[in-house]
Structure 1
Amino acid sequence: MKKQFSIHLILFLNFTLFSYSQTTDSDRAFGIKWSGFVKTDVMYDTRQTVNAREGHFNILPSVENLVDGEDLNNQSNFNILSIHSRIKGAITGPDFFGMKTSGVIEAAFFGNTNETTGEFRLRHAFVKLSNNKIDIIVGQYWHPMFVTEVFPSVYSFNTGVPFQPFARNPQIRITTKGKFKFIGVLYTERDFQTSGASLSQSGIPQVHAQLQFGSVKNTIGGVGFNFKSARPELGKDNISSTAFVAYLRSRIGKVTWKAEATYGENMTDVLQIGGFGINGNGDYVSNSTFSTWTELMGDFSNSNMEWGIFGGYAKNGGFGEAITYVNGFFGNSVESAYRVSPRIGWKSGNLKIGLEAEYTNAQYGGINESGDITSTTDTVDNYRLLTTAIYKF
């Protein structure tokens, strides 16, 4: 494993040495510009959690694990990790049949699985074509329900999961320009996949359509629709599901307000509560999930200090009918969850030091005869105290 990592690192460093500069008749400079950040997080949890990468990507407090009347998950955890650090290369080059060209390659040390924590992994890699009417992206980029103009600015790397959809996908994306934008995406799955089913084996790409209005400097909002068809098993029928998203970001004086709501079925690929089951006839049935979050943030007057507060809520809508099997991300266990997370940070030059408190509450349950999720166990909660240092370059 160490040898493989060393090879990847050497190849990457060799690639960083390849930087060129040239000009065209318009004197536009071409080449590659490197940026990124070094980030270290110090984390303390009052309870064991459902997480990824040694607890760094915190999701929910773990369900009770009773042994002789003692809850073994009711124990604290502490860690210090720098695996969120990343590097990004923004590439520019000559026009392509009258369209401006650019590209991005970005990687981090987060690994692709818990076993590869600390290893180099690909985050984004795409080519972009632009003119005064449209942008076209081909490659790996954010899932369209992760709206880059409106997402939580929390210090925690979980970025609001499981209340905020989170994934990166290989895709073809077209975005029109203007005060009213249309965003159309065809995409598949790789690092973030539907639990228990294959999108590629379904033979049908995911489809997303979104309408967006406004501008990031003032007020921006939008609505989107998503369609997915995945195949749980070769020789079996596909299971199709839909999802909807609505979002808004606005500046009120010196305060920025953000809000988003999603409703969908079988949304495990974007790290949402949900999944699918099989009914008495052997047919696949999707689980439904509603989630919402909001955030207020701003800077203190005449200082280099910033503040923010995030709140999120998720509700498991169940299956709507009796099922005999469940496959999914908490599809049969979390009835609802919520989170409140205030933060404060100090900024100077390229360095920021931040302090964030995160309280997450989860109500675990079970599935009744009607396919609804019921609260059958006690509520569990976790307090996370996070201190972060991030140096951008």
Structure 2
Amino acid sequence: MKKLVFLLAGFFSVFPVVAQKKNFTYKFYGFVRGDLFYNTRANMAPVDGNFYLYPLDKKPDADGKDLNGTPNGSFYTFTSRLGLDATGPNIGTARTSAKVEMDFGGFSGNTTVLRIRQAYVALDWDKSNVTIGQTWHPLFGAVFPDILNLSTGAPFQPFNREPQIRYQYKAGKIKLTASALWQLQYLSSGPNGMSEEYIKNSCIPEFYIGADFAPGNGWLAGAGVHMISLKPRTSTVWNDKTYKVNERMTTYSYEAHLKYTGQNYTFAAKSLMASCLDHTALLGGYGISSINPDNGEQEYTPFRHSTSWVNFTYGTKWKTHFFAGYTKNLGTTESLVSDTKYGMGLDIDQLFSANLAFSYNLPHWQMGLEYMPTTAWYGKTDKENGKVTDTHSVTNHRILGLVMYYF
């Protein structure tokens, strides 16, 4: 931590000299954030419990007592954020800019470390722009829930930042988006766990194409298509021999979103037919549909999930937030030949969450309290269609207190 303090001190002491470069402007921003939370049971919650997703299934001990039925809670400030927006001299008719944004939400052993959230350069013309670097995944988009929880609606709302090349074009009230994306911090699942290697060995990035329509009067609507193509393995051991294999799993996802912004209230909603989007903090993944008896080469089938959410807020200084999300496992397109599955939450048939929050907002300040019950229906996977049967429900109650100071 001392090294980090000296690093930041040196950065700020040197930066005023750098800031004197001609035709450059700089703007610092960020916030200090504190999260105090309590859960009634164990949960799938990365970032040391701060990024809350859903309750874990029952885990009986020798006496039948649920090992996951233990309350937990803590207080953290490591999601505090620091960012820099910079503009530079034009390149031809293109306006140039860059962003670097970081927080302390990376983990190494038992301590937090500085991590990059966003880092990109942009070229902006009147009707089009190009972004190169790491920023928000287009499935996160311009429509996302306004709630207090750090997960921002996940696992119903996609949450992901990836290195990408993005092109946007504005034609009147319509904005078109095309992106090619690679994985870095948010990773797909596979035989070696969560790893970058599946998209790297694929040599095919993720692709997204979408459109937004803003007719005015506070309305925004849009839709998009996403493709991902993974290579789970390049070799396999079969009958005590090692073989080179050529495996690929390619699938598509579809999303639609809507938002209305009134004078002191907002309504937003999004729905997805999601396939293998576990790297965006959604339930999803894939299974094995066939195995070659000669060399063990496998073919794969994706799990399909229907997921939707709605969000309503009212007020400005005193603000009420309501959120509800629902996900349904629709199974696989082909039957499964193995119990092995890669992904997140594939033994969940349905997931439902509600969220009620109140916040007090002042210039540079936000304080709030949030209650969030979440129920997951766990069961067994039917190999014939990939659906989850013989379900039982598990519920977690989460209470969150939040304080933020913006600068």
Q: 2:201 is paired with a residue of what secondary structure? A: helix
Q: Which residue of 2 aligns with 1:208?
A: 208
Match of 1:71 in 2: 66
Equivalent residue in structure 1 for 2:311, among 281, 295, 310: 295
Which residue identity lines up with residue 95 of structure 1 in the other structure?
N
Q: CA deviation at 1:19?
A: 4.6
Distance 1:104 1:212, change over 3 A: same
Match of 2:124 in 1: 130
* AA in 2 matched with 1:308: H
Query: How far is 1:115 from its partner?
Result: 3.5
Deviations 1:208-253 (A, max 9, x none): 1001100687101100001111110123222101011100001356
Partner of 1:275: 285
Find the counterpart in structure 1 of residue 329 from structure 2.
316
Distance 1:367 1:69 in 2: 23
Distance 1:94 1:215 in 2: 33
Q: Which residue of 2 aligns with 1:27?
A: none
Q: Given the alignment of the two structures, is residue 175 of structure 1 paired with residue 189 of structure 2, yes or no?
A: no
Aligned to 1:166: 159
- TM-score, scaled relative to structure 2: 0.89
SS in 2 for 1:357: strand
On the 8 A contact 1:19/1:32 being kept in 2, the answer is no
Instruction: Tell me which amino acid in the other structure corresponds to 1:207.
Output: F
1:191: Cα distance to partner?
0.5
Instruction: Quote the Cα distance in structure 2 between the aligned partners of 1:9 and 1:218.
Output: 41
Is 1:189 matched with 2:203?
no
Are 1:353 and 2:346 matched, yes or no? no
User: Does 1:307 find its partner at 2:320?
Assistant: yes
Query: Unpaired segments of 5 or more residues in structure 2?
Result: 191-196, 235-244, 292-297
TM-score (norm 1): 0.92
- Which secondary structure does the structure 2 equivalent of 1:181 belong to? strand
Q: Which runs of 5+ in 1 are unaligned?
A: 25-29
Distance in 2 (CA, whole Å) between partners of 1:59 and 1:384 is 11
1:349 aligned partner, one-letter code: P
SS of residue in 2 equivalent to 1:290:
strand
Change (3 A) 1:55 1:348: same
Amino acid at match of 1:156: N
**1:283-335 Cα distance to aligned partner (Å, 9 max, x none):** 111111111000000216xxx21111000001112224133143333353111
Mapped to 2, the partners of 1:151 and 1:268 lie a distance apart of 18
Counterparts of 2:288 and 2:354 in 1: how far apart (Å)?
A: 35
TM-superposed deviation, 1:280: 3.5
Shift of 1:7: 6.9
CA deviation digits over 1:23-81, x for unaligned, max 9?
A: 66xxxxx3211000000011011111111122111111111010111111111111000
Identity in percent:
27
